[in-house]
Amino acid sequence: MNTPGPADMDDVELDMRRYELRRRGEPVKLERLPMELLILMASRNGQLVTRADIVRALWGANAYRETDTSINTAIRKIRIALDEDPDVPRYLITVKGKGYRLEGIRALKPGAEAAPAAAPAAPIRVLVLPFENNSDDPSLDTFCAALADETSANVGMLDPQRILVIARTTAARYQRANKSIAQIAHELDVDYVLEGSLMREGGRVRILAQLIRSFDQVQLLGCAHEPMARGALDIQKEVGAALAKEVSPALAERQQHRLSRRLPIDPAAHDAYLRGRYYWTRRVHFDAGFAAHHALNDEDFIRAHSYFETALDLDPTYALGYVGMSNIYGSTATHGFYAPSQGYPKAREAALRALELDPSLPEAHQALAGVHYFYDWDWRRAEEEFLAALRLNPSHAETSRLYARLLLVLGREAEGRAQFELAERVDPLGFEGSRVFGLVQSGRYDEVIREYLSAGHGPSSPLIYQLLATAFEVEEHFEEAIDATIDALTRCNEFTRAEAIRTVWCSGGYKKVLEWYLQDLLARRRYRYTSPFLLAEMYARLERPDEMFHWLEVALAERSPLLCELRTNAWFRRFRSMGRFRNVERRIGH
Q: How far is CA 424 from the centre of its chain?
A: 6
Other beta carbons less than 10 A from residue 110's beta carbon: 5
Q: How far apart are CA 228 and CA 138, in angstroms?
A: 15
Average pLDDT, stretch 161-169? Answer: 73
Per-residue pLDDT tens for 92-103? 888 887 788 887
Q: How far apart are CA 90 and CA 82, in angstroms?
A: 9
In a 3-state reduction of DSSP, which class is residue 199? Answer: strand
pLDDT of residue 514: 95
pLDDT of residue 68: 72
CATH superfamily for domain 124-263:
TolB, N-terminal domain (3.40.50.10070)
CB 517 within 8 A of CB 486: no
pLDDT of residue 535: 96
Average pLDDT, stretch 70-83? Answer: 83
Other beta carbons less than 10 A from residue 514's beta carbon: 18
Considering the chain, what is the average pLDDT of its residues? 80
Per-residue pLDDT tens for 525-582? 999 999 999 999 999 999 999 999 999 999 999 999 999 999 999 999 999 999 999 9
pLDDT of residue 265: 67
251 — pLDDT class (breaks 50, 70, 90):
very low
Other beta carbons less than 10 A from residue 107's beta carbon: 8
Q: Taken in order 575, 580, 586, 587, is the CA torsion positive or negative?
A: negative
Q: How far apart are CA 379 and CA 188, in angstroms?
A: 35
pLDDT of residue 520: 94
Is the per-residue pLDDT at 386 higher than 70? yes
Is the per-residue pLDDT at 312 higher than 90? yes
Which amino acid type is present at position 411? G
pLDDT of residue 110: 32
CATH for the stretch 6-102: 1.10.10.10
Is the per-residue pLDDT at 207 higher than 80? no
pLDDT of residue 562: 93
Q: How far apart are CA 26 and CA 15, in angstroms?
A: 12
Is the per-residue pLDDT at 244 higher than 50? yes
More confident residue, 214 or 393: 393
Identify the weakest region by mean pLDDT among 165-174, 247-256, 411-420, 542-551. Answer: 247-256
Is the per-residue pLDDT at 105 higher than 90? no
107 — pLDDT class (breaks 50, 70, 90):
very low
More confident residue, 154 or 520: 520
pLDDT of residue 456: 57
In a 3-state reduction of DSSP, which class is residue 316? Answer: coil
Domain ranges of the chain: 6-102, 124-263
Is the per-residue pLDDT at 172 higher than 90? no
Q: What phi and psi values does residue 157 have, to the nearest 5 degrees?
A: -90, 0
pLDDT of residue 245: 57
Pairing of strands 204-213, 163-166: unpaired
More confident residue, 138 or 63: 138
pLDDT of residue 88: 79
pLDDT of residue 64: 40
Taking the CA atoms of the chain, what radius of gyration do you get in angstroms? 28
More confident residue, 474 or 202: 474
Indicate the helix (H) or strand (E) that contains 98: none
CB 274 within 8 A of CB 143: yes
Q: How far apart are CA 224 and CA 466, in angstroms?
A: 43
pLDDT of residue 517: 94
pLDDT of residue 237: 61
Pairing of strands 12-15, 20-23: antiparallel
Per-residue pLDDT tens for 253-291? 445 555 555 666 677 888 888 888 888 877 766 788 888
Identify the weakest region by mean pLDDT among 12-16, 409-413, 453-457, 484-488. Answer: 453-457
Per-residue pLDDT tens for 330-356? 999 999 899 999 999 999 999 999 999
CB 168 within 8 A of CB 142: no
pLDDT of residue 49: 84
Q: How far apart are CA 4 and CA 207, in angstroms?
A: 49
Query: For residue 126, what are the β-bridge partners?
Result: 165, 192
